[in-house]
Structure 1
Amino acid sequence: MRSMHVFPVRSGAAVAAALAFLLPVAGSAQVGYLPEKSPYEDFKIGQSATLLGGWLAVRPDPANVAPAPSWLAGVRYDIGVGGPASLFARYVFSPSERNVLVPTNPRATRVVATPGTTTHLIDAGLDVSLTGRKTWRHLMPSVNVGAGLASDFARADTGGYQFGTKFAFNYGFSLRYLPRRGPQLRLDAVNYLWQYQYPDRYFVKAADTTSILTDTRRREAWRANWALTAGVTFPLFR
């Protein structure tokens, strides 16, 4: 069970270190500019809704039953909570396909189908601007962390495997373009971390003396999966 904590702890520490380093740099960069010539402009972090799309780069798992990388789409809601911080809630889905394995079959015929599957991700978290409550030439970079659920809402397949519904953690980096009026643009790179769990039959040898997995210590495996998205943001209640 030690592995359940490795990825989230290290990821959170990396984001915190980046934030601690970059915030003083962003603040000091404003010194030396006349107000009317400064590239920095005050910006109120209020409420907004974003329509987004992109690519979910799902990493292969030890048993090769993970969904294939595919496009994604979703929505995001943000609300400022003071200073450079805002809270967000997000939902994305990614239609794809994956392998269905029959553990009792020899390796050559073990993959019996590649049905369609859709990965659903819902999470909430904290976003912190690296330039405070200001933009730099209408740009605002930020870091964020979150947690939520990942699910394919599917039953166990014929080989006994089920992705199910599980906790997922994430951290990421954002860059927003914030004009004085109208819709805004944002780019996000988000690393989702979730765990695969395999049934006992994945370790049973077939007639050709092979098995899907050989090390019983690998019943659970964490994988990090990057999502790259672009979105159009609409400010609310301004």
Structure 2
Amino acid sequence: MRLMRALRIRSAVALAAVVSFSVPAVLRAQIGHLPDRSPYEDFKIGQSVTVMGGWLSVKRDLADVAPQPSWLAGLRYDIGVGGPASLFVRYMASPSERNLLVPTNTKANRVIGTPGVTTHLIDGGLDLSLTGRKTWRHVMPSTNVGFGLVSDFAKSDTGAYQFGTKFSFNYGFSLRYLPRRGPQLRIDATNYFWQYQYPDRYFVKAADTTSILTDTRNREAWRSNWALTAGVTFPIFR
């Protein structure tokens, strides 16, 4: 019995000694190395200007008078407003072409040309970093929502159609590469929503008994249009 007690005491002392030496060693390893190896780094969301270009994929509308998909270019300004949030304003322009329709012509001769048109988009909104005020291996993903205006600044055409200036709203996602110094890189995918409105002439039948549109409930129609852009960001006022 005494031998068993002695062995138990010695085992307990040995275990305590191992724990007392090993725990500080583990703590030293965590404190001394893990933060240095962390993929996360603090990042101050300040002010920046981005020069960007990309592609505007305009979705075909009911009457097929929308601009064709085309390249676009623009500028964006961001300012941090606290925590992971920032506000932005953005302007982009996309030169393209669209179909010019004459509603009184037969279906075979209804399209009489494809004039040039430039779509102008100006919007602002809120951008929210998904990694807070930190980057992951210098990368910061974010999501954003906004609203603004879209216009082609054109008058009514020969078919009485006018795109005009419209309210739009959007949501999107961003991915930024943020080195410690110098310019930054960003990629954006933004889905814009705006409404098309068609004149009465589009519902009038031509000589071949066809019309551009047949259901008057389609006089107004919303469409989504994706814009994919890549740009170079320059921090300012740091």
TMscore range, shorter length: 0.7 to 0.9
Match of 2:97 in 1: 97
Match of 2:231 in 1: 231
Q: Distance in 2 between matches of 1:198 and 1:71?
A: 26
Per-residue CA deviations over 1:104-139 (Å, capped at 9, x if unaligned) read 000000001100000000000000000000000000
Q: Distance in 1 between matches of 2:121 and 2:146?
A: 11
Match of 2:175 in 1: 175
1:221 pairs with 2:205 = no
Structure of larger gyration radius: 2
Question: What pairs with 1:130-141 in structure 2 (closer than 5 Å)?
Answer: 130-141=130-141
Question: What pairs with 1:10-159 in structure 2 (closer than 5 Å)?
Answer: 34-159=34-159
Amino acid at match of 1:231: G
Q: Distance in 2 between matches of 1:102 and 1:145?
A: 38
The alpha-carbon deviation at position 207 of structure 1 amounts to 0.3
Per-residue CA deviations over 1:30-69 (Å, capped at 9, x if unaligned) read xxx8211100000000000000000000000000000000
Amino acid at match of 1:192: Y
Q: Distance in 2 between matches of 1:147 and 1:199?
A: 26
Match of 1:212 in 2: 212
Q: Considering only aligned residues, what root-mean-square deviation do their CA atoms show, in Å? A: 0.7
Count of matched residue positions in the alignment of Structure 1 and Structure 2: 206
TM-score, normalised on structure 1? 0.86
Q: Distance in 1 between matches of 2:34 and 2:233?
A: 30
Q: Distance in 1 between matches of 2:47 and 2:107?
A: 53
Q: Distance in 2 between matches of 1:151 and 1:200?
A: 21
Percent sequence identity over matched residues?
Answer: 81
Unaligned stretches of 5+ in structure 1?
Answer: 1-32
Amino acid at match of 2:85: A
Q: Distance in 2 between matches of 1:227 and 1:56?
A: 4
Q: Distance in 2 between matches of 1:170 and 1:224?
A: 9
Per-residue CA deviations over 1:144-190 (Å, capped at 9, x if unaligned) read 00000000000000000000000010000000000000000000000
What is the DSSP-based 3-state SS (H/G/I as helix, E as strand, rest coil) of the residue aligned with 1:201? helix
What is the DSSP-based 3-state SS (H/G/I as helix, E as strand, rest coil) of the residue aligned with 2:125? strand
What is the DSSP-based 3-state SS (H/G/I as helix, E as strand, rest coil) of the residue aligned with 1:34? helix
Structure 1 runs of 4+ aligned residues shifted over 4 Å read none
Q: Distance in 1 between matches of 2:83 and 2:235?
A: 18
Q: Distance in 2 between matches of 1:189 and 1:35?
A: 33
Q: Distance in 2 between matches of 1:168 and 1:35?
A: 45
What is the DSSP-based 3-state SS (H/G/I as helix, E as strand, rest coil) of the residue aligned with 1:36? helix
Q: Distance in 2 between matches of 1:65 and 1:175?
A: 33
Per-residue CA deviations over 1:67-124 (Å, capped at 9, x if unaligned) read 0000000000000000000000000000000001000000000001100000000000
Unaligned stretches of 5+ in structure 2?
Answer: 1-32
Match of 2:3 in 1: none
